Amino acid sequence: MIMNLDAILEAVLFAAAQPLSIKKLVSITEQDKTKVSEALQILHERLNVDTSGVRLIFQGENAELVTSPDAADFVQKTVSQEVQGELTKPQLEALSILAYRGPLTRPELEQIRGVQSSMILRNLMLRGLVEMHEETRLGQPIYAVTIDFLKFLGATDPSELPDYESLRSQNAVVQVLNELQPEKPAAEDAESASLDV
């Protein structure tokens, strides 16, 4: 069974857990802008009703899934439990990677961890341990540990963390991150080679 485009967009926006531009959705779905815009309207009409727990909102050219205002009390309880509970093993793993290898984009973090990490990043941001920066790399926002996280560990900079240099430069991690880098055109390689001579 082939999914409708509006259902695909719903899944993508849910997994992203952040606003995505129409341009980005066009790239992800490999559909033209008109089809994506029409499917977003269908999704908007389907979700923005009293019986739905989530809403689709637009901010300029960005679309995002948010919870219904009617569910605010229940969502607040859930968020409070997430923020107050102990960190899970996957959260600690992501936090360690960001501390020693960050700042990273979500795809870079996922490349290292080998699993989808948008919800973990959201939870760490809710706890004030990770922050998203406006700066982008490979068209993605970057994430880094917060000053509060470093203060909690008695550090003012990630470089002060134990075994920072040796853990940061692990060959396996460097190799995994290099796989995400776009390949340079042959002309660029030739130019840089001539500069090295």
Confidence check: pLDDT of 40 > 90: yes
Angstrom distance (rounded) from CA 15 to CA 75: 18
The torsion angle over the Cα atoms of residues 145, 146, 151 and 157, rounded to 10 degrees, is 60
Instruction: Examine the pLDDT at 46 and tell me if it is beyond 70.
Output: yes
Q: Which two tokens stand for residue 65?
A: 């899934």
Question: What is the Cα–Cα distance from 58 to 37, expressed in whole angstroms?
Answer: 11
Look-up of token digits 């540990």:
145
CATH tag, 5-70: 1.10.10.10
| Token representation of residue 139 | 């068209």
A 10 A CB-CB count for 74 gives 12
For 177-189, the pLDDT digits (tens) are 566 565 544 444 4
Structure tokens at 192: 């840089």
How far apart CA 16 and CA 10 sit, in angstroms, is: 10
Is 5-70's fold the same as 86-178's?
Answer: yes
Where along the chain do its domains lie?
A: 5-70, 86-178
Question: pTM for this one?
Answer: 0.52
Query: CATH number of the domain at 86-178, please?
Result: 1.10.10.10
Are 150 and 156 within 8 A, CB to CB? Answer: yes
Summarize pLDDT for 119-175 with one digit per residue, the tens.
888 888 888 888 888 777 767 788 988 888 887 777 788 888 788 887 777 776 666
